[in-house]
Amino acid sequence: MLPPAVADLVALASAIDVTLRPLRGKQIGTASYPARLLKVSASGGEFETECPVTVFDAVRVILPPQAGIAAGLDSKVITVMYKATERHTVCVRFGGLDWDVRAKLETLSETAKPEA
């Protein structure tokens, strides 16, 4: 059973372009999808994307080099909010993070703007 949806997300001052790669079983898929990271915390993120995912799918989030996180972040889809457009909002919970990656995500979320 997964924990509840990520509650400590903060909106970024400007979205970050990332890549989502769906995982099939234990193998990373060959398809890559552009996404925009809108909100982040040390435990998860919210993205706008066209990546075809459903709740409980596994995805790897690949951040740009300037984020300082070289490895992809293996994640589990918690929610998918569909819109009238092809792009939809996906919320994920990050899994298996080491302390260094967690600290970098916390730094990224600390520079984000608090929600009103």
- CATH code, domain carrying 68: 2.40.10.220
56 DSSP 8-state letter: T
Any domain includes 2:
no
Q: Specify the pLDDT at position 5.
A: 64
* Number of structural domains in the chain: 1
CB atoms within 10 A of CB 16: 17
User: From the DSSP assignment, how many helices (H) and strands (E) are in the chain?
Assistant: 1, 7
Q: For position 97, what pLDDT does the model report?
A: 82
- Which ranges of the chain does DSSP label H, i.e. alpha helix? 99-110
Provide the domain limits for residue 56.
Answer: 10-110
4 inside domain: no
116 in a structural domain? no
Cα-Cα-Cα-Cα torsion 23, 28, 33, 37, nearest 10 degrees, comes to 70
Compute mean pLDDT per 10 residues along the chain, 116 residues long, and list them: 65 88 78 92 90 91 81 88 84 86 77 56
Cα 105 to Cα 10, 54, 84: the distances in Å are 11, 24, 31
Phi-psi region of 60 (alpha: psi -120 to 50; beta: other; left: phi over 0): beta
Is the CB of residue 12 less than 8 Å from the CB of residue 37?
Answer: yes
